[in-house]
Amino acid sequence: MIKNFNRSHSKVTIGNGKLQEFRYCSLTFVGDVHEVLADSLIENNKILKYLKDNQIDNLEFIKTSVLDKLAKLVDEKGLPKKVAGYQKNDGVFMNFLSFGVLEEIYDVAPLYLLQRSDVENPKFGLDSIFFKDDEVFVFEFKSSINKLDEKAVAKNIREGVNSLFCKGDRIKTASLFDCKTNIKNNNLNSKIGEVIDNFIDNRSDALALINQQGLKFNVCIISPNDVFSEDEIKNHIISEYIKCKKCVGECKSIKCPSHKDIKILEAVHVQLPTEFKLEKLYEKLIARLSDGN
Whether the predicted pLDDT of 79 surpasses 70 = no
Q: What are phi and psi of 178, to 5 degrees?
A: -70, -35
Dihedral class, residue 125 (left if φ above 0, else alpha if ψ from -120 to 50, else beta): left
What is the residue type of 271? Q
CA 80 and chain centroid, separation: 26
For residues 119 and 92, give the distance between their C-alpha atoms in angstroms, rounded to a whole number. 6
Q: What mean pLDDT comes out for the span 95-119?
A: 86
Q: pLDDT band at 88, cuts 50/70/90? A: low
Q: Which has the minimum average pLDDT: 222-231, 236-245, 281-290?
A: 236-245
Separation of first and last alpha carbons in the chain: 16
Torsion of CA 113, 119, 121, 123, to 10 degrees: 10
In whole angstroms, what is the distance from residue 215 CA to residue 210 CA?
Answer: 8
Distance from C-alpha of 275 to C-alpha of 37, rounded to nearest angstrom? 12
Q: What is the pLDDT of residue 70?
A: 80
Closest C-alpha among 176, 241, 268, 257 to residue 215? 176
% of the chain beyond a pLDDT of 70: 82
Q: Is the pLDDT of residue 9 over 70?
A: yes
| Strand residue runs (E) in 97-182 | 109-110, 128-132, 135-143
Residue 122 contacts by C-beta under 8 Å, 6 or more apart in sequence? 91, 92
Least confident stretch, 63-72, 127-136, 185-194, 264-273: 63-72
What 3-state class would DSSP assign to 165? helix
* Cβ atoms within 10 Å, residue 149: 16
* Contact between residue 142 and residue 159 where contact means Cβ atoms under 8 Å apart: yes
Sequence-distant (6+) residues with CB within 8 A of 193 are 180, 183, 184
- pLDDT tens profile 251-281: 555 667 767 788 899 999 999 999 999 889 9
Q: Which residues pair with 216 in a beta bridge?
A: 137
Instruction: Please state, for a pLDDT cut of 90, what percent of the chain lies above it.
Output: 34
